[in-house]
Structure formats: structure tokens, C-alpha cells
């Protein structure tokens, strides 16, 4: 890693969430002077105190180091800098179109602070054409001429929650400029922080590459979920089918599960559909397939409980995936709603998620008199529970392990009927 001598020295990062905070902290420990901006006062206070509002391995240590070095401070509004990085959410609306209001708001907030020679980098995932369109148009309201006095690039984030710091440093980065000079200047910012390779390109290629990455994962998971359903129709275990198919040297099928959650994969593929509805047919079908998976899981659960009167289901894990505290777009919400709609009583357990639409119960209360343990998220703690002790509290011993993370022989030995995808 080289120092930031050649690059901009002062960086203002807008948005201190899952992407902005680790990025701001890593830039600060790489030698840049970083101002982090967030509209939420509690986030600003937490960061300045060296604390982090999210659960992520190693993040607190890096944020503390960054704040203690004097290179990172958080505040409510932006100020002048050499470069600005926008890392705000881009959710979808009900109609599956991109809601770019946070990007617009962040861009507008820096317009009064822009000066000649500034660089603005957009990290948020956006529909193709946004960087060289909407973003450039808003920034041009400063009176500075894009490509001559103002440089603009899209550098999509690629970090995996649960491995954020490792991936922030090790992953290759795609940097798409509205012109070559913009891409070159943006690459200078990332090189001191990133050990992976940095690939300069155009803004629209960078936008598409990011969307295609996540759509490819969505399509892969949809295929796995479809294989699970087809296999079950034939009385077979989908995971066994996939595991054996994957013994072929050129087959790499992903894992089926209770559905696809998180703030990225259920959202980003729609940005491809939005821009090319007639062409993005596989992408759309994959989205629909994965969105239907929670209902399929709920229906299968209820079939197992056909003979049980007034069934109670202990739902293990509401985070969108294992070992994170994030429940955004989690398939667990749709599963819980569907189970309730089918007449079941539900009780959710999760040791990571703090806030959720359903009450989070303690394990003991949740399994007491329950008729089924429905495991939706593969949090590591679930593997350590003693099935016999759980079974003693339950009314009916059924466990449906949608993530295949439990030791099934131990649960069977404790008298459980083990259900798999
Ligand atoms: N899932 C499955 N089966 C699998 C893999 C995942 O059902 O085989 C489910 C998970 O349980 C979860 C969802 O899919 O509900 C998504 O999880 P994930 O681990 O695949 O991805 P995210 O959303 O945590 O992060 C993704 C990553 N993208 C890719 O791997 C292509 C990450 O690198 C991106 O930076 C991130 O989206 C993002 O912010 O865009």
C-alpha cells in the first residue's frame, strides 16, 4: 500500500452505514483526513466516541484507531474537501423502481461546498446511466464544468457483510469515470487503501458490472431454490442433489434456503429490469423465484404440522443471513407473516438482531410448548444447542432446517423428525 501523497488529502464521506463507515475508517487509517457525514445524530455521536452502530468483525477497532489518530471525525453536514464519496442507500419503491432520493439529497448537500478540481465518487449501487446523468446534472448546479473543473466517478462497493474489512481491502475495484481523468483521479483515492487490483473504466460499465454481480448471485440462488422444489416434488432432498451435481468439475450450484434478503441482492437486479424490461427476463424470473421462496417454506412447514392443533412454531434466526445483525429485506419476515396467516402461533429467536417487526423471544420461552423449530438463518449459536434439552420443552418434536446447519443425526437421536429442503 502506498500513501495518499499523490491523491486528494481531505475526503468527505457521505453516509456512515455498512459501506460508508468502514470506507471512511480505512481511508483514515490509510493516511487521508476524513470527515464522515450522517444525518443521524446517534450515528455521528457513536463514531466520534469510537463506537460502531453495526455488528461487524474488527470494525470497532479500525474506527477507534481512525478516530484516535485524528484522521476521522463525524458530523451532521458536509464541508469543503478534495474529494467526496457518496455511500448512501438506494432502496427500491413498491413498483420495483430505484429510489434515488438519498443520492440526490447527498449530491445536493455537497453542491455549495464544491470547488474547482474536486472529485466526487458515487459508491451507492444505481441504475445504469445515473452517474453520468442525474448525479452529474446535480453537481453541475455548482457552476463547475464536469470533466474540466469537476471530476465524477462511480466506484461500486463490493463488500460482503460479515467480512467487510477483509473484502474492503482485498477485493478488486471497478472505477468508472465520466471521463478518463475522473477514473484516474478516483483510482488514486482507492489505491492506498486497496490491496486488490483497481480497474478504471467508464461510469456505465461500472454501474452495469455491479448490478450484474448481484444479479448473477440472485440467479444462482434462484436456480438452487428451484432445484430444491423440483427435487422435493420427486421426494428427494434438494441439497443432496446439489451436492452430488457439484461433484461435476464444471458445476457450481449455490445453496437453497428460505429466500434471499439483505439490502442488495433482492434490490439491485430490479435496477437492470427497470432499464431493460424486455431484455432482463432471466433476472426478473430469478427475483420472482427467490421472492416466492418464503411462502414455499411456510407452506412446507404447515404441511408437517397438518395433524397438530393450534400449532406453535419457534423460528430460529430472523437476520437475512447467518452471523449478522441485519434484518433488512429478510425472508424471515415473509415466512413469519405467512405462517401466521395460515393459523400458526410464531415466536422468533435471534441473538444478533436487536430491532425487528416481530418480538424477539428468549430461546427457552420460544421452544416451550412449540411444535416445530423452523431454522431460517444459520447463526453459529444454533449449532451448539442440545437437541434433547430443546425437545424436552417442546410439545411436538419437529425441526425444519432450511439452511442445513444442524447436526441432523443428533436431533434424530433426540427424537426429532428432521425436515430438510
Ligand atoms: N443466499 C442463499 N444461498 C446462497 C447464498 C446466499 O440463499 O448460496 C442468501 C443469503 O442467505 C442472503 C442472501 O442470499 O439472504 C444474500 O446473501 P449474500 O451473502 O449472497 O450477499 P450479501 O447481500 O450479504 O452481499 C452481496 C455480495 N454480492 C455478491 O456476492 C455478488 C457483496 O459482495 C456485495 O457487496 C453486497 O451484496 C452489496 O452490498 O451489493
User: What integer is the mean pLDDT of 139-156?
Assistant: 98
How far apart are alpha carbons 416 and 410 in whole angstroms?
9
One domain for residues 74 and 129: yes
Domain membership flag for residue 310: yes
Q: Alpha carbon of 330 to those of 252, 265, 356, 393: distances in Å? A: 25, 11, 10, 28
To the nearest whole percent, how much of the chain has pLDDT over 70? 98
Cell output for 32: 487521508
The whole-number pLDDT of residue 221 equals 98
Mapping DSSP to helix (H, G, I), strand (E, B) and coil, where does residue 175 land? strand
In sequence order, the 6+-apart residues with CB closer than 8 A to the CB of 261 are 320, 321, 327, 328, 329, 330, 331, 332
**Is 309 a residue whose pLDDT tops 60?**
yes
pLDDT of residue 1: 45
Task: Note the pLDDT of residue 8.
Answer: 57
| 25 and 103 assigned to the same domain | yes
Q: Is the CB of 221 under 6 A from ligand 1?
A: yes
Q: Mark whether 244 and 150 lie in a shared domain.
A: no
Is residue 263 predicted with pLDDT exceeding 90? yes
| Assigned domain for 221 exists | no
- Contact call for residues 364 and 338 (beta carbons, < 8 A): no
For residues 270-283, give the mean pLDDT: 98
pLDDT reading at 235 higher than 50: yes
Ligand 1, atom nearest to 254 Cα: 8
Nearest CA among 25, 26, 33 for reference residue 5:
33
User: Could you tell me if 53 and 123 lie in one domain?
Assistant: yes
pTM over 0.85: yes
Instruction: Provide the Cα torsion 384, 387, 388, 391; round to 10°.
Output: 140
**How sure is the predictor about 7, in pLDDT bands with cuts at 50, 70 and 90?**
low
Same domain? 127 vs 238: no
d(CA 6, ligand 1 centre) in Å: 35
Q: Which of 140, 174, 196 is the last residue of a domain?
A: 196
Paired strand residues for 75: 37
Mean pLDDT value across residues 85-107: 97
Indicate if the alpha-carbon torsion angle 126, 128, 132, 134 is positive or negative.
Answer: negative
Active site residue 264: yes
Q: Specify the number of domains making up the chain.
A: 2
Residues 273 and 405 in one domain: yes
Question: How many degrees, rounded to 5, is the angle at CA 95 between CA 90 and CA 98?
Answer: 20
CATH of the domain at 82: 3.40.50.720
Q: Are residues 181 and 262 in the same domain?
A: no
For 10, phi then psi, to 5°, come to: -105, 125
Q: Which helix or strand (DSSP H or E) is residue 409 part of?
A: helix 408-413
CA–CA separation, 289 and 69 (whole Å): 48
| Residue 84 CA to its chain's centroid (Å) | 23
Q: Is the confidence at residue 345, as pLDDT, over 80?
A: yes
Q: Are 390 and 362 in contact (CB under 8 A)?
A: no
Active-site residue flag, 354: no
State whether 240 and 340 are in the same domain: yes
**What does the block give as the cell for 196?**
486488490
- Which residue has the CA at smallest separation from atom 4 of ligand 1? 255
Look at residue 203 and tell me if it is in a domain: no
Which whole number is the average pLDDT over 113-132?
A: 98
Regarding the beta carbon of 161 and ligand 1, being less than 6 Å apart is answered: yes
Q: Which atom of ligand 1 approaches the CA of 18 most closely?
A: 39
| Rounded distance from Cα 91 to ligand 1 centre (Å) | 16
Q: Are residues 262 and 138 located together in one domain of the fold?
A: no
The domain in which residue 312 lies consists of: 226-420
On whether both 340 and 406 belong to a single domain, the answer is yes
pLDDT of 3 higher than 80? no
Could you tell me if residue 215 is inside a domain?
Answer: no
Give me the torsion for CA of 414, 296, 384, 326, rounded to 10°.
Answer: -160
Q: How confident is the model at residue 55 (pLDDT cuts 50, 70, 90)?
A: confident
In a domain, 154, yes or no: yes
Amino acid at each position: 500500500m502506498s500513501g495518499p501523497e499523490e491523491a486528494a488529502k481531505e475526503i468527505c464521506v457521505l453516509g456512515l452505514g455498512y459501506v460508508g463507515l468502514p470506507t471512511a475508517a480505512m481511508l483514515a487509517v490509510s493516511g487521508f483526513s476524513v470527515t464522515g457525514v450522517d444525518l443521524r445524530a446517534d450515528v455521528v455521536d457513536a463514531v466520534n466516541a469510537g463506537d460502531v452502530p453495526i455488528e461487524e468483525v474488527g470494525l470497532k477497532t479500525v474506527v477507534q484507531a481512525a478516530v484516535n489518530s485524528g484522521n476521522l471525525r463525524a458530523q451532521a453536514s458536509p464541508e469543503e474537501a478534495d474529494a467526496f464519496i457518496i455511500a448512501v442507500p438506494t432502496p427500491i419503491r413498491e413498483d420495483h423502481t430505484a429510489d434515488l432520493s438519498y443520492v440526490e439529497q447527498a449530491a445536493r448537500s455537497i453542491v455549495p461546498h464544491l470547488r474547482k478540481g474536486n472529485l466526487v465518487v458515487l459508491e451507492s449501487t444505481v441504475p445504469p446511466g445515473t452517474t453520468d446523468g442525474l448525479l452529474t446534472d446535480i453537481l453541475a448546479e455548482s457552476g463547475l464544468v464536469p470533466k474540466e473543473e469537476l471530476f465524477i466517478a462511480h466506484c461500486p462497493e463490493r463488500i460482503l457483510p460479515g467480512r467487510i474489512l477483509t473484502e474492503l481491502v482485498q477485493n478488486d475495484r471497478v472505477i468508472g469515470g465520466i471521463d478518463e481523468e475522473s477514473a484516474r483521479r478516483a483510482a488514486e483515492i482507492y489505491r492506498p487503501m486497496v490491496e486488490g487490483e483497481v480497474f478504471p473504466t467508464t461510469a456505465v460499465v461500472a454501474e452495469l458490472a455491479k448490478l450484474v454481480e448481484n444479479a448473477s448471485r440472485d440467479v444462482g440462488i434462484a436456480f438452487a431454490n428451484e432445484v430444491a422444489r423440483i427435487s422435493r416434488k420427486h421426494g428427494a432432498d434438494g441439497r443432496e442433489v446439489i451436492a452430488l451435481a457439484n461433484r461435476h468439475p464444471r458445476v457450481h450450484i449455490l445453496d437453497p434456503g428460505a429466500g434471499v434478503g439483505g439490502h442488495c441482492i433482492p434490490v439491485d437486479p430490479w435496477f437492470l429490469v427497470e432499464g431493460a424490461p424486455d431484455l432482463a427476463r432471466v433476472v426478473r424470473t430469478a427475483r420472482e423465484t427467490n421472492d416466492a421462496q418464503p411462502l414455499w417454506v411456510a407452506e412446507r412447514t404447515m404441511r408437517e404440522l397438518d395433524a397438530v392443533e393450534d400449532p406453535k412454531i419457534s423460528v430460529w434466526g430472523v437476520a437475512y443471513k447467518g452471523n449478522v445483525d441485519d434484518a433488512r429485506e429478510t425472508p424471515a419476515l415473509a415466512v413469519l407473516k405467512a405462517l401466521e396467516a395460515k393459523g400458526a402461533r410464531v415466536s422468533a429467536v435471534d441473538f444478533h438482531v436487536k430491532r425487528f417487526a416481530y418480538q424477539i423471544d428468549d430461546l427457552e420461552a420460544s421452544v416451550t410448548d412449540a411444535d416445530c423449530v423452523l431454522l431460517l438463518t444459520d447463526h453459529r449459536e444454533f449449532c451448539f444447542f442440545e437437541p434433547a434439552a430443546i425437545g424436552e420443552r417442546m410439545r411436538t418434536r419437529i425441526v425444519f432446517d432450511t439452511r442445513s446447519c444442524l447436526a441432523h443425526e443428533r436431533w434424530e437421536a433426540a427424537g426429532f423428525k428432521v425436515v430438510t429442503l
